[in-house]
Amino acid sequence: MKILMFSSDPENPRLKRYTEVVDGLEIIDMSRAQGRFARLWKGYRAAKNILMLERFDLVTAQEIEHSFLAWLLSSKFNIPWQMQIHTDIFSPYYFRESLFNKLRVFLAKFLIPRASCIRVVSERIKRSIKRASAVLPIYSEIKKEGGINLREKYPGYDLYILMVARLSHEKNVKLALKTMNEVVKNIKALLVIVGDGAERKSIESEIGALKLENSVRLEGWQDNLPGYYASADFLLVTSNYEGYGLSAVEAISAGLPVIMTDVGVAGEIIKNGMNGFIAPVGSSYVLSGEILKVFKDADLRLKLKEGAKNTKLPYASFEDYRDKLVNSWITCQK
């Protein structure tokens, strides 16, 4: 089986490991380094030239724009194509975020019925697109040791709350700050945010406006996260939408409960009252209430930690994930 893949992350070492179980894998570089719009023309031209020289069994594409190219190539060369959907594109929050997102939603509605098969990363997305599809979550190889101990780095707090997120609009970090503004009225808590992005300066300004300088720390990007997960009391996720929610899954795999908005794997992997709590999107009132409830109830904290440790994750190993992904490619050809 020979696969032609459009990828925004062509240097990901995981891709090379797919070649262990397929006859050929050709990766088309669709990274932003190729130019935001130029990459579409470059990618299509590169893929067309490859397909003119040799036959491939399947074209697979992750982003909506890439899927449009895959559909064009499928029509031209009579090859099945797999549409991958990694974001909750039919969330109203996704649609309202930008003009480009609105265009992506309209394009997705055109492409979904025309795909040979579809792979989504969560049951939430499968329900939203209303078409049979393979649910294959994202695989994350999680380190078990190393990194910062929050309690040692920032001693003296009653509660340690962790966020791991890009500082971008959809992650709604300002909701986390609004939530913290309510929490610190009652207890001495610290929110540590690991990540960086375009909204950093705006978030720093909001921290100052809310006078949260002693209650929030921006750590920037960190490569070594196990220590953060091991030393926090829980992970906080305040996103407006998520296709999956990798940080939530990483936290659970480290035995760390999650308090999150109703996005991504909420209800699928994060279970209300079992290994975390779920709040409506945008509700600082519910989020702060759940945080204080967890803080005040030692038995509940223990229950949530045990629930996190005993949560069944989607894959037992990378090989398990790889085999399921390859099987989705095989099935797509039938």
Report the distance separating Cα 238 and Cα 135, nearest Å. 24
CA atoms within a 13 Å half-sphere pointing along the CA-CB vector of 34? 19
Please give the share of the chain, as a percent, with pLDDT higher than 70: 99
CATH among 3.40.710.10, 3.40.50.450, 1.20.1370.20, 3.40.50.2000 for 150-309: 3.40.50.2000
Topology alike, domains 2-139+316-332 and 150-309: yes
Q: Residue 1: which residues within 8 A CB-CB, separation 6 or more?
A: 22, 23, 24, 57, 58, 326, 329, 330, 333
**pLDDT-based confidence at 217, cuts 50/70/90?**
very high
Percent of the residues in the chain that have a pLDDT greater than 90, as a whole number: 80
Rounded CA-CA distance 27/29 in Å is 6
Cα separation, 169 vs 330, in Å, equals: 37
pLDDT at residue 90 in the model: 96
Helix intervals (H) in the chain: 13-18, 38-53, 64-77, 92-97, 99-111, 123-129, 150-153, 173-183, 200-209, 226-231, 246-253, 284-296, 298-309, 318-332
Average pLDDT of span 64-85: 96
Question: Between helices 173-183 and 284-296, what is the axis angle to 10°?
Answer: 50
Return the SS3 of 61.
strand
What single DSSP character describes residue 114? G
Q: What is the pLDDT of residue 175?
A: 97
**Is residue 122 a contact partner of residue 264, using CB atoms and an 8 Å limit?**
yes
Does 248 score more than 90 pLDDT?
yes
- DSSP bridge pairs for 27: 5
Burial of 155 (0-12, 13-18, 19+ CB in 10 A): exposed
Q: Is 286 helix (H, G, I), strand (E, B) or coil?
A: helix
Q: What is the CATH number that goes with domain 2-139+316-332?
A: 3.40.50.2000
Per-domain boundaries in the chain: 2-139+316-332, 150-309
pLDDT digits 0-9 by tens, 96-129: 999 999 999 999 999 999 999 999 999 999 999 9
Token pair for residue 241? 């939408």
Q: What is the pLDDT of residue 18?
A: 85
The C-alpha angle with vertex 125 and arms to 258 and 131, in degrees rounded to 5, equals 155
According to the model, what pLDDT value does residue 140 have?
79
Q: What is the mean pLDDT of residues 325-330?
A: 91
DSSP letter string over 212-230? -TTTEEEEE--S--HHHHH
pLDDT value at 146 more than 80: no
Which of 36-40, 148-152, 192-196 is predicted least confidently? 36-40
> Is residue 279 over pLDDT 90?
yes
Helices 64-77/38-53 angle, 10° precision: 30
Q: Is the pLDDT of residue 316 over 90?
A: no
Mean pLDDT of the chain: 93
Residue with the bigger pLDDT between 316 and 28: it is 28
pLDDT value at 144 more than 80? no
pLDDT category at 12 given cuts 50, 70, 90 is confident
Pick the range with the lowest mean pLDDT from 94-108, 273-287, 317-331.
317-331
> What pLDDT digit, counting tens, does each position of 283-296 carry?
999 999 999 999 99
